[in-house]
Structure 1
């Protein structure tokens, strides 16, 4: 019988574990992928927007070479946090169901069955891509995840989106020799793009190095070309790869299966903002999963406090 079972081994799941450990509670983290799985799947060249101290958890210093840490530095930091504190973590073990009876949760995973007095869900949002819903999206050339720009050297790339991930892909692949076309629904590059990157992409568009279609959307994808609906009409261009950087979303089906109530519009889960407890007593949410489709509202730096809030409420009860 555990005091707490934590679903998700990302930074916020680890933060919850550290707080539970400090309070002497028994706990286990269950993660369906590798340690900090979402961060592992970020682009290999990624640099965080936040400074390293804002990514720290449990008061453990995050020392980096430059002010803003890289993906590899973050992976190293969170791995050392987990191993140096001997946090009990079961990796590559997926939670299949969570049932509550007589104030006790029974958690069935792909490998075992556990019982716990409380459950914390910290599953993030990076596992499920927001799809375009267009003809040809199922072709192998359409990618919703991006790892490294070299793969796209000397290729004709269409990048869909205007936020950080799309702009990073556009600039990095362009600099590796790709012919890049941006398709943006609005009339400008998103103002949420990193402040040191936004002028770069705007200048590349102005000089014609990167072609951009504004107030436009990708309509059809075929093996060697795509159709783009623009204000001037339908445009067909040759194409090798489509990078659909249209965002990601939490696993809403899993949250519903747990019994968590979601809003109808943006699927925001119901929880007490002072304790992070959901409509199901004893079941808590932590991290980005709290935002529903508004995944830009929560980050490591502003959701790491969830760990303290949750463990404080559990101790009180």
Structure 2
């Protein structure tokens, strides 16, 4: 079986950046992505606008030109797709990695299609796959979704949006403007402070004028086919309801990391162990890149501040290869 220099798990922006750096060094590599190119971005809401400006989403110095300063989802899909195709990156799509184990110095990677051997592995899988569950009765009903795509579906419906972050606030505003009757259920005392600065005043004004009903310091107690029951400081309230968008955040696949042997902090943050100068984990030649480095602190890492991980990792791999070459020649 061929031994690859690098197997990259995850074909998002950071996984793509790692592939570009590996190609520059002339290393054999393959990117394994369980979905389409930049699968997480593809599953973002159709009308989503990034918080970051386009130049901060660029990788490898390739210009990202967008109509507005802050690009939208469809522009990002076009940008990253063109990078993959124009650079002829070696990427295998719709191939999910199930396990990564280290034996005799190399890694064995098993996907749902193939097996690979690699000297180095980079995990750049993000955190968008597993929603934070509320663990309440009725959460598994068909009317409940942890992902939001398009507001048209909820027009003329009684919609409960749960959450106070960007995803929840964007959904509440979009659905309200497409004719949904929106109730916003927020666990804390106010709309999240990290909501995009041009969006936060909009949602606050809609709440104050009564267009969107907000329930602060509230949690969901139960969901049924026709109602949602919430608990607040004012007591228990049952609201008529057609659909629920539980946009309560997402988390990395910690089980996947632990199965590989990566150490996680024993607190609620579940921070994976890695060297911040090289991105190498407690397992030699196994690296982390991108937002997965933040554990449960999913707001700490973005494309703009983690795109440097690719060059950091490749610099470390290059140094190791140079050291081995010097040793073998001595």
- Separation in structure 2 between the aligned mates of residue 37 and residue 120 of structure 1, nearest angstrom: 17
Matched, 1:13 2:21: no
Matched, 1:131 2:171: no
Q: Partner of 2:169: helix, strand, or coil?
A: helix
Q: TM-score, normalised by structure 1?
A: 0.99
Q: Which moved more, 1:259-268 or 1:166-175?
A: 259-268
Deviations 1:184-209 (A, max 9, x none): 11111011000000000000000000
Which stretches in structure 2 are left out of the alignment for 5+ residues? 321-330
Deviations 1:145-174 (A, max 9, x none): 000000000000111110100000100000
RMSD: 0.6
- Separation in structure 2 between the aligned mates of residue 202 and residue 264 of structure 1, nearest angstrom: 37
Aligned residue number for residue 213 of structure 1: 215
Aligned residue number for residue 25 of structure 1: 27
| Alignment of structure 1 residues 134-153 onto 2, 5 Å | 134-153=136-155
Aligned residue number for residue 226 of structure 1: 228
Which stretches in structure 1 are left out of the alignment for 5+ residues? none
- Separation in structure 1 between the aligned mates of residue 72 and residue 134 of structure 2, nearest angstrom: 29
Aligned residue number for residue 37 of structure 1: 39
Aligned residue number for residue 256 of structure 1: 258
| Alignment of structure 1 residues 150-161 onto 2, 5 Å | 150-161=152-163
Name which of 285, 289, 293 aligns with 1:290: 293
Aligned residue number for residue 194 of structure 1: 196
- Separation in structure 1 between the aligned mates of residue 48 and residue 26 of structure 2, nearest angstrom: 36
Name which of 222, 227, 235 aligns with 2:237: 235
- After the TM superposition, which segments of 4 or more aligned residues of structure 1 sit over 4 Å from their partners? none
Aligned residue number for residue 307 of structure 2: 304
Aligned residue pair count: 317
Q: TM-score, normalised by structure 2?
A: 0.95
- Separation in structure 1 between the aligned mates of residue 227 and residue 108 of structure 2, nearest angstrom: 51
| Alignment of structure 1 residues 269-284 onto 2, 5 Å | 269-284=272-287
Displacement after TM superposition at 1:268 (Å):
1.0
Aligned residue number for residue 58 of structure 1: 60
Aligned residue number for residue 95 of structure 1: 97
Displacement after TM superposition at 1:92 (Å):
0.5
Displacement after TM superposition at 1:21 (Å):
1.0
